Structure 1
């Protein structure tokens, strides 16, 4: 009989039947606070991208070692997603968030004061590890939202993540030109400490929520793996996340390299300003959340993946035209954030009581994709140039689109 592996009906049925539960709702102010906190935390993962050349010169690092700055940050992020984020299902999320932010302050100070490549890389890995507080915040916001409006809340909070990523490049480039690259991490440490204080006071206490189910830590981690083994939708959406963020990282981890060379020779602030161009990605996050609430997740995913593949055509002409780069950046960021919001909304609805494990496990694939894209792009650029980087990004995007087409197409069961 005809069936669809990733059909609109099955995704919405999962969301409705499994996602129902008590939801207190959230005021606009609290949702905005979640968005700001997420953006500020995740920005730490991306501050280094416009600064790679300067960091390398300051600490006498080889090009390959410079590329590992981004890779190690994402590796740390991936480890945090698996080992730290699941704690949100068994611990007080409010307290967990504040503790992680304070530890993140220490990691940022280590980066800012690093005098050797080893110290820098250790600090960046620790920063990535602790920046996963972003996902704890996303899961917390999703748990507070009513099921019928969860897509909107997740979309709004993810808009904050998008803006944080974009402003990270702009702010780091501007601060580096004004006061050196170390000032970027000192400023972030100060902001993170302030956020820890504000969140401690403002984050809601879930008086209506049953106490988390106590689980031994080892069993908690094993249950994350069990969820992947049991839930096909989770596995599929995780693969989408891996591919789109590998493409995303392919662009953003390497685009500073051609722009810092002739004929452009742009400053840090000019390269960082590219992040503002991708602000449309924040709009896509909100729109995608609303489309998911209306039952259009499958079509939203397909359209976004097609847009992602198309974005690499103008990006291939970056060396000849900055306008082509602008168009490509807008298309790519729109596509990536639309897929990301849809993924998170759908997988959280599978088992809200395991929301932190679901989102943390999904985001491990995000981190793997980001780290792989960063390492491959910087290595490819060194040996084959910008054209090879764009070919890699296009291949990853087309692979994601092919996966969507294969899993969405009706077929007959043998």
Structure 2
């Protein structure tokens, strides 16, 4: 356990907290993805011009990047439980604004707020990593991160199903209620952690470029994960259209396919345990190879069940790589863990944004281009992972 701050014990052991923190991460992460499959419906209801509808997702992504740069590093300066409470309260407020938005401009403001406050998941992961020793850090980070992945992947089909049944406003109300329930619960079970640093906020923000230059492994792991997360985003962005156009799937079938594709999250705890046993490099290489192989399968217009296997391979490979990489990044310098994590996550999130932007242009050219791009990006990540092992 890090000694770079003062810890006051909470009411549970770290092992007992892992599944519950995973659930908390899943709830918060899901909130930032609820609008994605409902963009057209929300824009129509709020009379938002079609050319502005894409801003719903874009502003959420920009907000998340801003949160990583300007909110998450605050955890290296201020008491973490209090900071997490404030960020979750902001998340609930943003969800309520989205639910009651009278016009498109208010929903866009809410989308940006949801993005900024979704960095709460990174605060939870960093807090969990800080509370355990090196021997169990991979298992703990993997367990908590698996909840984050389940939340992201489940948000897509759940939003489709509940959006049809209850309406999109009710969906955001339910998410706000869930986040508000998390606030007092997390305050009761998480220990206090007060960083020892007395750096001013501007000094903390100014130190980000210095840490980026200092740690070559940070830059390399961010590059690897950027490539892999780009494949992940590209695949899941194009998947609904792919399933509808090429296999004739209707909305419910697409939602069920998405839930089945979330099975890739099952490998995340295993990846964490392998990292704890010193198998970080091997896990990174196998994960990148799984993504490249899955992309190759998608190049040949596979039957739907083979596409499902490929989607599971991509989801599992991307998240296994993320767990072992994040474990390494958080251990580079414990007193600056949140700043290092912000740089790492922000770096690979750019790859995800690029993958989302490329998905539909590539698919409209031919569905095989999505697979080809995935294979190439996965192969490059594999090369980088091998070079990192030999360095």
TM-score by length of structure 1 reads: 0.86
User: Matched residue of 1:255: which SS?
Assistant: helix
Q: Encode CA deviations 1:44-92: one digit per residue, 9 max, x unaligned.
A: 2222333234335445667764444333322211111111111111111
Is it true that 1:294 corresponds to 2:281 in the alignment? no
| Kept in 1: contact 2:237–2:356 (CA 8 A) | yes
Task: Pick from 243, 260, 270 the counterpart of residue 253 of structure 2.
Answer: 270
| Kept in 1: contact 2:4–2:335 (CA 8 A) | no
Q: Encode CA deviations 1:207-250: one digit per residue, 9 max, x unaligned.
A: xxx64311111110122221111111111111112111111111
In 2, the alpha carbon distance for the partners of 1:266 and 1:215 equals 55
| Kept in 1: contact 2:14–2:131 (CA 8 A) | no
Offset of residue 336 of structure 1:
0.5
Equivalent residue, structure 2, for 1:230: 214
Task: Pick from 314, 317, 331 the counterpart of residue 349 of structure 1.
Answer: 331
Is it true that 1:405 corresponds to 2:386 in the alignment? yes
Instruction: Mark the CA change 1:225 to 1:308 in structure 2 (over 3 Å): closer, same or farther.
Output: same
Matches within 5 A, 1:358-377: 358-377=340-359
Give 5+ residue unaligned stretches, structure 2: none
Which segment is superposed worse, 117-126 or 288-297? 117-126
| Kept in 1: contact 2:146–2:265 (CA 8 A) | yes
| Kept in 2: contact 1:89–1:357 (CA 8 A) | yes
In 2, the alpha carbon distance for the partners of 1:334 and 1:262 equals 24
Equivalent residue, structure 1, for 2:98: 111
TM-score by length of structure 2 reads: 0.90
Task: Pick from 158, 163, 173 the counterpart of residue 160 of structure 2.
Answer: 173
In 2, the alpha carbon distance for the partners of 1:264 and 1:115 equals 36
Number of residue pairs matched by the alignment: 387
Offset of residue 317 of structure 1:
5.5
User: Matched residue of 1:213: which SS?
Assistant: coil
Is it true that 1:308 corresponds to 2:291 in the alignment? yes
Higher relative contact order (CA 8 A, sep 6+): 1
In 1, the alpha carbon distance for the partners of 2:93 and 2:24 equals 17
RMSD: 2.5
Instruction: Mark the CA change 1:263 to 1:31 in structure 2 (over 3 Å): closer, same or farther.
Output: closer
Equivalent residue, structure 2, for 1:8: none
Offset of residue 258 of structure 1:
3.1
In 1, the alpha carbon distance for the partners of 2:248 and 2:41 equals 17
User: Matched residue of 2:32: which SS?
Assistant: helix
Is it true that 1:92 corresponds to 2:79 in the alignment? yes
| Kept in 1: contact 2:228–2:378 (CA 8 A) | yes
Which segment is superposed worse, 45-54 or 329-338? 45-54
